[in-house]
């Protein structure tokens, strides 16, 4: 979805978004039930999840002697073993769907070094292109929506439940 902004080569060389410090484990991708079943059937039969209400989080693997947690779906040589089937959170990162004053917003995580090197205008164009699909996905899977954090610039705002408008 973000091909304009992030090439597969960029992501393959970085993989920062598949590794988490303990204080940003809250950013691990949301896995809804159908996707959890698919992961177990098609990608990783021994995968473990942490239940969070109606959805799941991937149980990350702690690196020995470091405050680093790795996604078990990350292959050091090939990247994410799910390829184009990866969770929606991963597909749109560094954009994140958040809620501010009852409205969904598409925000930018400040942590992606590749996107941080791009022109902000180009980042905004990509966010606007992704917003409608992101908000529709969030309607279907509300667990994808996180509370707003004020260090995440807002790049698009949902106008109403049925119609999106972009800033």
Q: Which stretch binds ligand SF4 (CB under 6 A): 85-93, 101-109, 116-124, 149-157?
A: 85-93
To ligand SF4, the closest distance from the beta carbon of 23 in angstroms equals 17
Site for ligand SF4 in 3-42 (CB under 6 A): 18, 29
To ligand SF4, the closest distance from the beta carbon of 18 in angstroms equals 3
For ligand SF4, the closer of residues 14 and 124 by Cβ is 14
To ligand SF4, the closest distance from the beta carbon of 17 in angstroms equals 6
Question: Is 90 an interacting residue with respect to ligand SF4 (CB under 6 A)?
Answer: yes
Question: Is 71 an interacting residue with respect to ligand SF4 (CB under 6 A)?
Answer: yes
Question: Is 152 an interacting residue with respect to ligand SF4 (CB under 6 A)?
Answer: no
DSSP codes of every residue in the chain: --TTT--HHHHHHH-GGGEE-GGGGGGSPEE-HHHHHHIIIII-TT--EEEETTEEEE--EEPTTSS-EE-TTEETTTEETTGGGS-HHHHHTTEEEEEETTEEEEEE-TT-HHHHTS-HHHHHHHHHHHHHHHHHHHHH-GGG-EE--TTS-EEEE--SSS--B--
Site of interaction with ligand SF4 (CB under 6 A): 18, 29, 71, 73-74, 80, 82, 86-87, 90
């Amino acid at each position: 979805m973000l091909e304009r902004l992030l090439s597969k080569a960029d992501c393959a060389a970085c993989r920062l978004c598949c590794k988490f410090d303990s204080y940003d484990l809250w950013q691990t991708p949301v896995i809804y039930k159908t996707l959890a079943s698919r992961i177990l059937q098609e990608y990783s039969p021994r995968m473990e999840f942490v239940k969070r209400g109606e959805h799941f989080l991937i149980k990350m693997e702690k690196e020995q002697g470091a405050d680093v947690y790795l996604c078990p779906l990350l292959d050091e040589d090939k990247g994410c073993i799910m390829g184009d089937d990866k969770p929606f959170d991963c597909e749109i990162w560094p954009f994140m769907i958040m809620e501010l004053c009852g409205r969904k917003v598409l925000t930018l995580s400040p942590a992606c070094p590749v996107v941080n090197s791009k022109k902000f205008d180009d980042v905004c164009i990509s966010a606007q292109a992704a917003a409608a699909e992101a908000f529709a996905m969030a309607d279907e899977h509300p667990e994808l929506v996180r509370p707003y954090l004020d260090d995440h610039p807002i790049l698009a705002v949902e106008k109403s439940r049925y119609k999106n408008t972009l800033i």
